[in-house]
Amino acid sequence: MGLPQRFILILLSIYLYSASVVNTQQEFKIQSVKLIIEPRNDVTAGTNVTLRCQATVSTSTEKGPIREYTILKNDKIVYTKTIGSSEDFVYQLHNARVFSTGLYQCKLDIQGDTKLSKAQRLNVQGLSQPDLHLEMNVVNEGEEVQATCIAPGEIGSFIFFFFDNDEQMSRVEGLSNQAKTTFRLSSGGIHKIHCSYKIRTAEDTFPSTKSNNVTVSVKELSITPVLKISPDSTIYEGDHLNISCSAQNFHSSSEGYKLFLSQGTKLLRTGNSTINHNMVAVPKVSEALTFDCRVEMRNVEKYTKKTISVVELFSVPSLTMFPTEIFQGEIMTLTCNSERFASQRINREDLEYTLYPSKNLPSSGKPGVFNVKALQNDFNYTCSAEAKGIKKDSKTLMIRPKVHVSALKISIEDKVILKKSITILCQSNGSLPINYTLFKDNVQVGTKVIRERNRQAVFMDVINKPGEIQYRCEAKNSLHSNKTGSSQHLSVNVIVPLSLMTLTVIPTPLGISEGEDLRFICSVNGTGPVTFKWYRTGSVVPLQTNTTTETYSSFLIKPVSKNDSDKYYCEASNGANKVRSENVDVQVLMALWKKMLIIVACLLLLSVLLLVASMLYIKSKRDRREAAAELSVKPSSPKSDDPLTVNLTHDTDVYNAATDAVSFYDGKEGRVTNGTRHSVASVPADISNRSSYSIPATV
C-alpha cells in the first residue's frame, strides 16, 4: 500500500469517528409537564398526599436524558431530585397538615432547558385539638402558675393563646407545636384555664378549637385595705380632712406588705403600716374628691376607694366690663364677683377681690368694682376672690379698646353726568364695624355697614337737575356714643350732556372771496369745559382744538384762498358725550382786484385794436387819395397785376375789417364779466361816435 492510499485511509477514519461522535449527541424536546395531586386536591388533616409529576419528552435515542425535578410550594423550592428514567416523579406528603395547604408546581430541567407545570392547589382542612397541662391545680393568690399548650401533630408557624375564664392572659408565638407560659391569678376562687392556637400560612391564618379546661383553685389572701376619712358629714371648701389608710386581717408575721394612699392620680403617701394624711378640702376640677388606699403583698394588690362631696364655699369669680364697648383713653368699670357663696360658713362681706394687674387703679368704693382707663392697645385683666384661705381666680378678660373713626374721606369715582348713575366712596380709619351715612345737600341718601378692613363704603346716586351738588359722609363705630366723624363737603358740578349743536360761517359760504377772513363759530347747549375741534372732510387731524368753559368757540382762516374751498365740520365734547355738526360747503370766489385787473386788460386790448384799426383806416384813405391823383394823370385801365391796384384792394379789406370790429360795440355800454355770478365791470363808452366812409372805386 502506497503513501496516497494510507493518507486516504486516515482521512476516512477521521470522518467515520466524527460521524460516530455526532450520533452520540442526543437531541430532545420537553413537550409538557403536568402535576397531579393524589388522592384529590381537598383532603382532611392526616391524609397521605402524593404529588405526581408527569413529563412528556421527545428524544432522538431510546435512552432518555438525565432529568432534574423540582417541587415548589407558593413559588418556594420544597424538594429537588435528579433521575435518569422517563418514569413519573413522585413526592410524598405523609400525614398532611393544614400547614401543607398552598399552590404547588413541578419544574423539569434537562440540560438547562426547563418547563413548569400549571399550579395545583392543595387544601388540607382540620386542626388537631390543643392539649393544656398545668403544674399545679391549687395555688395561693399571687402565686405563679406554669402552663403548657400542645398542638399534636401540627407543623408550621404558631400563635398560642392562654385564657382565664375566657379572658386572654398571654400570647406566645413560635415555630414549635407547643408553648409554655407563666401567669398569676390575682383573685381567689375557682379559675378555668384553657388555650388555643392559630397556624399562619403564606395566604391565610387558620384557628384551632379550644383546648380542654383545667380548673385551678386560688386561695385568697386574708389582708384587706381600710380607708377612713373624717369628718364624715357635710364638708365645705377649706375644711381640714384627716385621712388614714391601713390593712386588716393580716396574720403572717414573716411577710410584709406596703400601703399606698392617692388622691386621683396624685400619690399622697406610702408606708409599711397605717398611713395618716391631713389636708384642706380644695377640689381642683369638680365638687368631689376621690381617695384610693392600696395594699400590695406577694405580687397581689388590693384596693378600696372613697369619693367625698365638697360643698363650694364660693363660686369662681367672673370678671366683666362696662360698657361692653370701650374706646382708647376712656374710663371703664371692671367688676369681679362670685355669684354663689355658702351662707352657713361665710358672709358676702368676707370675700376679698383683687384685680391683676393692679397698678394705680382708682378706687370705686365698692368691693370688686374697679375703674380702669383703657390703654392704646389690647390688654388682659384677671381677678381673684378669697375667703377662709381659699382663693379662686377668674378667667382672663381680654380688652381690645376700639379706635374712634378719623380721617374720613369722601370721593367720587366717575364723572358726574346729568341723569346718569355715579359712585360715591366713603372711607375712614377706626375700629370695625363702621356705619357710614351719605348726605346730599344735607338730605340722607343711604347707610352702609363695613365689617372688613381696607373696604370702602360704596353709594350709588343719580342727579336729575343741573347745578352744583354737595355730598358729605358721616361715620360712626360706637353703639353707646353719639360721637361721629364727618367728612368735608364735596361739591360737584353736574355735567350736562351736549346737544343742539350749530356751526355758523361768517361771511356766508357762497359770498367769500380770496383774501377775506373766514370765521367758523361752533355753539352747543350743555356745560363746560367743552373741547371744540374743527375738521376738513377727509382728514382725521383737526385743524384746531380749543377747550373752553364757554359753550361756543370760533376758528379763523385768515386770509382764505381758492385752496380753502372744501367742506368743514365741528366736533364738541365735555366728558359726558360728543356731538358733531353738519358739513358746511365753502366755495372761495376770485378776489375783486383780480376781476378789475381782467377788465382793465380787456379794455387795453380793445383800445389797441381800435387804435390799429384807426391807423389802418387813415392810411387806407390817404392811399386812395394818392391813387386817385395818379389815376387822374393816367386814365388807362388797370391791370390785375398792377401794384397800385393790388395795394388798393388790400387797403379796402383792412378797412372793412376795422369797420366790422367797431360796429360790434355800436350802441352798447361796454360790460365785461369776471367769470362769477352777479359780477359786472363797467367799461367807458368812448368809441360810440364812430365815423366811416367808403372810398369810391376808380376805373
Residue 445 in grid coordinates: 341718601
* Range 51-55 average pLDDT: 93
**In the prediction, which pLDDT does 297 show?**
83
Please name every residue paired with 105 in a beta bridge, in sequence order, or none if there are none: 72
Residues 6+ apart with CB under 8 A from 605: none
Strands of 231-378, DSSP E: 235-236, 240-248, 258-263, 266-271, 275-280, 288-297, 300-311, 318-322, 331-337, 352-356, 369-373
**In the prediction, which pLDDT does 165 show?**
87
Least confident of 122-136, 222-236, 605-619, 647-661: 647-661
Higher pLDDT, 682 or 377: 377
* Range 110-117 average pLDDT: 91
Give per-residue pLDDT as tens, 202-243: 878 899 999 999 999 988 877 889 999 998 888 888 889 999
Q: Give dist(CA 385, CA 393) in Å, integer.
A: 7
User: Band of the pLDDT at 4, cuts 50, 70, 90?
Assistant: low
**In the prediction, which pLDDT does 178 show?**
94
User: Band of the pLDDT at 493, cuts 50, 70, 90?
Assistant: confident
**In the prediction, which pLDDT does 12 show?**
54
Contact assessment for residue 147 and residue 132, using Cβ atoms and an 8 Å cutoff: yes
Higher pLDDT, 86 or 697: 86
What CA–CA distances, in Å, run from 627 to 597, 613, 624, 692? 45, 21, 5, 19
User: Band of the pLDDT at 633, cuts 50, 70, 90?
Assistant: low
Give per-residue pLDDT as tens, 257-270: 899 999 988 999 99
Least confident of 88-102, 149-163, 508-522: 508-522
Contact assessment for residue 145 and residue 185, using Cβ atoms and an 8 Å cutoff: yes
Contact assessment for residue 348 and residue 317, using Cβ atoms and an 8 Å cutoff: no
**In the prediction, which pLDDT does 86 show?**
81
**In the prediction, which pLDDT does 284 show?**
67
Residue 34 pLDDT > 60, yes or no? yes
End-to-end CA distance of the chain: 176
Name the 3-class secondary structure at 671: strand
Residue 612 in grid coordinates: 390799429
- The 10 Å Cβ neighbour count of residue 141 is 21
* Range 194-208 average pLDDT: 90
**In the prediction, which pLDDT does 626 show?**
83
Residue 410 pLDDT > 50, yes or no? yes
Residue 336 pLDDT > 90, yes or no? yes
CB-based contacts of 542-546 (< 8 A; 24+ apart in sequence): 542/571
State the average pLDDT for the chain. Answer: 82
Residues 6+ apart with CB under 8 A from 134: 145, 146, 147, 148, 193, 214, 216
Q: Give dist(CA 563, CA 584) in Å, integer.
A: 16
Most confident among 12-26, 83-97, 395-409, 530-544 (mean pLDDT): 530-544
User: Band of the pLDDT at 644, cuts 50, 70, 90?
Assistant: very low
Is residue 674 left, alpha or beta, with left meaning phi > 0 and alpha meaning psi from -120 to 50? alpha
Contact assessment for residue 152 and residue 88, using Cβ atoms and an 8 Å cutoff: no
**In the prediction, which pLDDT does 668 show?**
35
**In the prediction, which pLDDT does 254 show?**
52
Least confident of 7-16, 85-94, 438-447, 574-583: 7-16
User: Band of the pLDDT at 192, cuts 50, 70, 90?
Assistant: very high
Least confident of 111-125, 199-213, 501-515, 644-658: 644-658
- The 10 Å Cβ neighbour count of residue 268 is 17
Residue 80 pLDDT > 60, yes or no? yes
Residues 6+ apart with CB under 8 A from 61: 26
Least confident of 83-87, 364-368, 565-569, 665-669: 665-669
Report which DSSP code applies to 640. Answer: T
* Range 283-299 average pLDDT: 81
Least confident of 82-86, 403-407, 678-682: 678-682
Burial of 449 (0-12, 13-18, 19+ CB in 10 A): exposed
Residue 149 in grid coordinates: 399548650
Q: Domains of the chain, with CATH numbers?
A: 28-125 (2.60.40.10), 131-219 (2.60.40.10), 224-308 (2.60.40.10), 318-399 (2.60.40.10), 406-494 (2.60.40.10)
**In the prediction, which pLDDT does 21 show?**
41
